[in-house]
A and B are shown apart, each in its own frame.
Chain A
């Protein structure tokens, strides 16, 4: 597609449920990033995939968070047993080496 797309655009879930957020990067981009934007924490890095290398998971806030990238393209961020503090906008970005990161519109997650 023309840009990074994310789905769903909005997600409301009950505390304790699992959620999956999807990111479709720009075709051909080798790197994919997940960030989180929340009122209390600002914009935080979560995880980074680069080609076939092991992902950089250093930003994941707890073991309830995981992400995978299948076939070097689409990525899914999974949050298990959601908590209210997980409420945030989850942003995905992609790029190739040496180019800017292009951001998707984000998924707004609300945990009630």
Chain B
């Protein structure tokens, strides 16, 4: 079945890089996503990557995709205290961009000043 896994917790110091990892199982996923959830707030789409890409960079964010190993990572450069949140990776089930999202367990990123 579909399963998306992440490590539960990551702690970094302000200014360091953060790397959040994710493994997924649905090889037909067309898009893979990273969402951010701040305390008491809704889900915010950070970035996404199309499955035929290996890497996508967007300002401080770098997404790496290893399709062979079904491994996705999100690197945040120069991590700030405002980056403290829960980060979810998600795959679109069924291979279409409008289909349901299967979310990972979420990684709590704690940024120490």
Measured CB to CB, the nearest residue on chain A to B102 is A45
> Which listed residue (B42, B88, B99) contacts A105, Cβ 8 A?
B42
Closest 9 CB pairs of A and B: A43-B103, A103-B43, A45-B100, A105-B42, A103-B42, A100-B45, A97-B98, A42-B105, A48-B100
Can you list, as one digit per residue, whether each of A41-73 has a CB less than 8 Å from chain B (1) or not (0)? 011110010100000100100000000000000
Given A91-B42, A103-B42, A105-B42, are A43 and B88 also a contact pair (CB < 8 Å)?
A: yes
Complex contact B98–A56 (CB within 8 A): no
A106 vs B105: C-alpha distance when bound (angstroms) = 18
Complex contact A91–B43 (CB within 8 A): yes
Shortest C-beta distance, A76 to chain B (Å), equals 19
Which residues of chain A come closer than 8 Å to B43, judged between CB atoms?
91, 93, 103
Give the total of B residues in contact with A, Cβ under 8 Å: 19
Can you list, as one digit per residue, whether each of B36-66 has a CB less than 8 Å from chain A (1) or not (0)? 0000011111001000000000000000000
Given A42-B103, A42-B106, A100-B48, are A50 and B98 also a contact pair (CB < 8 Å)?
A: yes
Measured CB to CB, the nearest residue on chain A to B106 is A42
Give the total of A residues in contact with B, Cβ under 8 Å: 24
Residues of A within 8 A of B (CB): 31, 33, 35, 42-45, 48, 50, 56, 59, 91, 93, 95-101, 103-106
Given A91-B42, A100-B45, are A59 and B105 also a contact pair (CB < 8 Å)?
A: no
> Which listed residue (A59, A98, A104, A105) contacts B97, Cβ 8 A?
A98
Q: Is B19 an interface residue, CB under 8 A from the partner?
A: no
Complex contact B98–A104 (CB within 8 A): no
Complex contact B97–A33 (CB within 8 A): no
Q: Is B12 an interface residue, CB under 8 A from the partner?
A: no
